[in-house]
Structure 1
């Protein structure tokens, strides 16, 4: 049985790979910035998973965010994929 949330199925549903770099203030040294890289499959242009993670960060992580830089790339699009049902062999 196939996992309905496999990477391939997500990509076929329009998800792309979103990579975000979070710049945040260190809790013990507020004038020092550190970075954290987050990556997941997400839907552009709304990016619900990215914004859900940013909300989680604001509620649960002590280091306040300074800024977020992100990129989104669709690895395949529905037009680039065909489901093949059979195969013909010719000699």
Structure 2
């Protein structure tokens, strides 16, 4: 069963965005881009590196370079359980 995005963030996952620069198979002088996003664990980034391996094995366009950023949306110290809420006008 796949976990929700909130469960992943509470387990330490963050949003990883990668921009792939690759050469067109028939036109080696043309560089194109592809953007990939998924929730991944820093600093090892297992999902990102698995996708890079998939690209190198299955896709004809050879990679030129990869640029990525990782943003942790929620960290364990930032989340707290709120039991009640009081409003004051």
TM-score, length-scaled by structure 1: 0.87
**Unmatched segments (≥5 aa) in structure 2:** none
The match for 1:9 is 7
CA distance in 1, matches of 2:81, 2:66: 38
CA distance in 1, matches of 2:85, 2:31: 59
CA distance in 2, matches of 1:52, 1:9: 22
Pick from 69, 75, 78 the counterpart of residue 77 of structure 1. 75
When residues 87 and 22 of structure 1 are mapped into structure 2, their CA distance, relative to the original with a 3 A threshold, is same
Instruction: Give me the CA root mean square deviation.
Output: 1.7
CA distance in 2, matches of 1:18, 1:67: 16
The Cα shift of 1:4 comes to 5.6
Runs in 1 of length 4+ with deviation above 6 angstroms? none
The Cα shift of 1:80 comes to 1.1
The Cα shift of 1:60 comes to 0.5
